[in-house]
Amino acid sequence: MSSLKKALSEGRFVCVLEVVPQQSPSRLAALEQILQRGQLAGWPLLPAFADRVGVHSDLSPLEGAGGLGNPASSLLHFSGKDRERADLLLQIESMKARGLKQLLLLSGDRLPGHHPDQAPVRYLESVPALQIAREHCPDWLLGAALNPFKYREEEGGAQYLKAQKKLLAGADFLTLQLGFDASKHREAQTWMRAQVSMKPMLACVMTLTDRRAAALQAVPGVVITESMRELLYKEQQVSQAYASARSLERLALQIVGLQLMGYAGAHVSGVHTLEELLSLEQAIAELRDGMTSLTDWAERWRASWQMPGAREVCFAPETDAWEMGQSDVTATRRERLQHTLLSAVHGQFFSRTGWLSKAFGWSVTRPIWKAGVAADALHAVERTVKRPLVGCDTCGRCRLQDTLYVCPETCPKGLANGPCGGTRLNRCEFGDRECVHSVKYRIAKSANQLPVLAQTLIPCIEAEKRHRSSWPEWFEPEDTTPGR
């Protein structure tokens, strides 16, 4: 049994140290020192190797683990951006050869330089990636991500619905996005405790300095408010030593608070040397010994974000932020009308039961449409009909029935199972549109179809099947695709 899997199964709090693999001998030597220690404040300390979060010259997670001799405790990340099934299977086989059995599956943030008006960049999203990994590695420890730091009902609700899919797809644990809003940490725990099968959760934490906060404001899905920035700047103005001490105290406090809230562990980033680790350990020990309840912790946490002359820190981007349990959004008249009309059309042409659907199915499954000019013509007809209606890019296996007739191809990442973590107040991280999954949430809620967004696992589209008509496959008798 892997180290992390053993700790999670035994209910022991664990610390995972995130590493961005780099071609730096000094960084590697410092990391070796940290991992030789093997613990943080008495908790197991394990390495996690990030994937595709930095510059193109960064090493892969496999190369990062290889630089340390492939410790079996390693948690490797897999980012699905600009990847297909074959890429995941290749990483799985390489991990098997090295005896590595812990994998965190992520959809990934925006590919550097990618703009939505350019050629699409498709992502192997985490839900089908989990299914693929579980099929090939039934005994592995598999994780996925959850971003609870959302402040609109649509984006928050859609995050939790997709998280349910991740659990159904085989996730053994969830790791939360980096965040500092304790109310959202508690909200995520409340959600998990309501699930039929509870799974352990880790939460990402980081020492937050003024400089780092400025950089994080540009990271999709990470919420750094102006009041937080103002406090960090004022601390920096006092002195570098003062600001560093306050930042270290808050990191230690957050880790202690996560344990008190019931989290299984902390996913720590931004610690690069043994000296930094030992300073953090000392701060944790001092806080932990004098803190016995979550109430005590909450008072200390609020105090750590206060300073004379600075305004009160607010962790939410707006004062009217959504909280779990609030439910007041509904689909617009246009959204409801489009869903009703497309649902009716689907019932007529694609139900496989009525005479019109049977006739249409018979016509598009004739052998003539299977190859050559005829296949290209049928593809062109489908694209011409559906693109003006839903933005179709003819993915080759239409998923509209499972996505409330909001085409996943209109998502710049091509995500079908739900949103990524990069939205901000319902806006796509690309900034040019509302997140299509927020639209989908409103429609599902108005049509009493929210369970569809939590229970229907939509498989990935294989690269070789794209840009062809989906109609013949829909009517093939052997089609047993889940959810159809």
Specify the CATH number for the domain of residue 190.
Answer: 3.20.20.220
Q: What is the DSSP string of 214-227?
A: HHHTTSTT----HH
Residue 33 and residue 168 in one domain: yes
373 shares a domain with 293:
no
pLDDT in tens, the chain (484 residues): 778 999 999 999 999 999 999 888 888 899 999 999 999 999 999 999 999 886 665 789 999 999 999 999 999 999 999 999 999 999 999 999 999 999 999 999 888 888 877 777 889 999 999 999 999 999 999 999 999 999 999 999 999 999 999 999 999 999 999 999 999 999 999 999 999 989 999 999 999 999 999 999 999 999 999 999 999 999 999 999 999 999 999 999 999 999 999 999 999 999 999 999 999 999 999 998 888 899 999 999 999 999 998 899 999 998 789 999 999 999 999 999 999 999 999 999 999 999 999 999 999 999 999 899 999 999 999 999 999 989 888 888 899 999 999 999 999 999 999 999 999 999 999 888 899 999 999 999 999 999 999 999 999 998 888 889 999 989 986 544 444 3
Report d(CA 450, CA 154) in Å as an integer.
Answer: 11
Neighbour count for residue 272 (Cβ, 10 Å): 16
Final residue of a domain: which of 304, 320, 350?
304
**Do residues 405 and 478 lie in contact, with contact meaning Cβ atoms separated by under 8 Å?**
no
Q: Quick one: 261 and 340 in the same domain?
A: no
Among residues 304, 322, 354, the one where a domain terminates is 304
**Do 292 and 388 fall within a single domain?**
no
Give CA–CA dist 28/22, Å, rounded: 8
Q: At which of 256, 289, 304 does a domain end?
A: 304
Structure pTM?
A: 0.94
**Residue numbers of the domain that contains 391:** 333-475
Residues 352 and 294 placed together within one structural domain of the fold:
no
Q: Which of 115, 64, 85, 116 shows the shortest CA–CA distance to 105? A: 85
> Do 88 and 130 belong together in one domain?
yes
Structural domains counted in the chain: 2
> Does 28 share its domain with 135?
yes
Looking at the fold, whether 268 and 341 belong to one and the same domain comes out as no
CA–CA gap between residue 107 and residue 422 (Å, rounded): 10
Residue pair 245/223 in contact (Cβ under 8 Å)? The answer is no
Asked if 257 and 349 sit in the same domain, the reply is no
- 129 and 175 part of one domain: yes
**293 conformational bin, left if phi > 0, alpha if psi -120 to 50, beta if neither:** beta
Mark whether 293 and 357 lie in a shared domain: no
CB 99 within 8 A of CB 62: no
Residues 19, 123, single domain; the answer is yes
- 313 inside domain: no
Is 415 part of a structural domain of the chain?
yes
Pairing of strands 43-49, 39-40: antiparallel
